[in-house]
Amino acid sequence: MVHDSFAYAFDSRFGGFLNAPHASLHPVAPFAVAGIAWDGATTHRPGARHGPSAIRQASHMRCDAEHPHFNVAPAAGQLVDYSDLRLPNTSLERMRAALVPQAQALIARHRLLWLGGDHSITLPLLHAYRAHVGEPLALVHFDAHCDTWQDHFGEPSGHGTWVYEAAEAGLIDLAATTQIGIRSAGERATREYVADRGGRIFTARELRGLESESALDPVIAHVREVSRGRPTYLTLDIDCLDPAFAPGTGTPEPGGLTVNQVLTLLEAWGDVPWVGMDLCEVSPPFDHAELTANAASVLGWTWLCGQLARGASVR
């Protein structure tokens, strides 16, 4: 006999994000999670294709009660999980071509938390959102890397070119783009591409030692200002965090953000008009003690609960 009251976590058969049921059970749920298990554009350490399953598993520790800041939890029927989408496995362009229509179909029905995958998945997601909202998006981009390279080591596109490509294609408004945690090597013109075109970059160096809501107010206020009344997309490369907090990633860069810094920002931005969020570049084969997957699950959970708390509906 099955005792539902004993149903805690660690169901190794499926177990969606926060133990959400599969989408086939609640097709009209306002919020959904979908995995994009692709890492074919990784430049250094591979493994982000295993990110979605690791983030889901880590999330099961917080599936049984309310978020401590937002005082909410997904109610039955509010959150579903599509598991990982069916996508081509070896061609970046074919993966993207297959992802755009799937993403558009999901965006029309739910507010999405996407689990990557390497960061090349964000460009097709932005194509889908741009088509859905009918205007260039405001963008908040957490990352150690600027992702504004104009080529990918001799190839036209990869996981470090998508910001440049999205701007060129008119998917995002650079003046309403905010990058946070940037610190990797790169040519100055590439690293400061967004700032040179009217956007704002808060480098990891600029944010050293700033953790409280008041200390981070310049970041909080800036994003509130540029996103006001505008569809805003959030993309979070887990390598924005210092490798001490997120060792399991493809291109780690020491000198990064703390979990507390990112949590403080996400908590403060519960009321930003988000259209969706992705969590990228969690690479479980390089993780230790599930630190990275656990951090990613908390950040995704916090964003999601911020949306639940303000009663966000699908736009």
Task: Indicate the pairing of strand 232-237 with strand 137-142.
Answer: parallel
Tokens at residue 205, please? 């160096």
Binding to Mn ion in span 172-201, by CB under 5 A: none
Considering only the stretches 70-78, 229-237, 254-262, 292-300, report the one whose residues sit in contact with Mn ion under the rule CB under 5 A: 229-237
Binding to Mn ion in span 120-149, by CB under 5 A: 143-145
Residue 169 per-residue DSSP state: T
Contact between 33 and 115 (Cβ < 8 Å): yes
Residue 42 C-alpha from the chain's centroid: 17
Nearest distance from C-beta of residue 227 to Mn ion, angstroms: 22
User: Of 237, 242, 267, 278, which lies in the binding site for Mn ion, with binding defined by CB under 5 A?
Assistant: 237
Residue 93 C-alpha from the chain's centroid: 21
Contact between 179 and 141 (Cβ < 8 Å): yes
Local structure of 265: helix, strand or coil: helix
Residue nearest Mn ion, Cβ-based: 145
Cβ proximity to Mn ion, 239 vs 287, nearer residue: 239
Nearest distance from C-beta of residue 43 to Mn ion, angstroms: 10
Residue 75 per-residue DSSP state: P
Contact between 79 and 17 (Cβ < 8 Å): yes
Among 70, 67, 69, smallest CA distance to 59 is for 67
Local structure of 266: helix, strand or coil: helix
Cβ proximity to Mn ion, 143 vs 267, nearer residue: 143
Contact between 47 and 96 (Cβ < 8 Å): no
Nearest distance from C-beta of residue 202 to Mn ion, angstroms: 15
By CB under 5 A, residue 118 contacts Mn ion: no
User: Of 165, 239, 278, 287, which lies in the binding site for Mn ion, with binding defined by CB under 5 A?
Assistant: 239
Nearest distance from C-beta of residue 36 to Mn ion, angstroms: 16
Nearest distance from C-beta of residue 210 to Mn ion, angstroms: 21
Nearest distance from C-beta of residue 143 to Mn ion, angstroms: 4
Local structure of 224: helix, strand or coil: helix
Tokens 């260039």 — which residue?
136
Q: Site size for Mn ion, by CB under 5 A?
A: 5
Cβ proximity to Mn ion, 87 vs 241, nearer residue: 241
Cβ proximity to Mn ion, 16 vs 47, nearer residue: 47
Cβ proximity to Mn ion, 192 vs 239, nearer residue: 239
Cβ proximity to Mn ion, 107 vs 266, nearer residue: 266
Cβ proximity to Mn ion, 110 vs 119, nearer residue: 119
Binding to Mn ion in span 41-100, by CB under 5 A: none
Cα maximum dimension of the chain = 64
CA distance 299 to 214: 20
By CB under 5 A, residue 278 contacts Mn ion: no
Q: Which residues bind Mn ion (CB under 5 A)?
A: 143-145, 237, 239
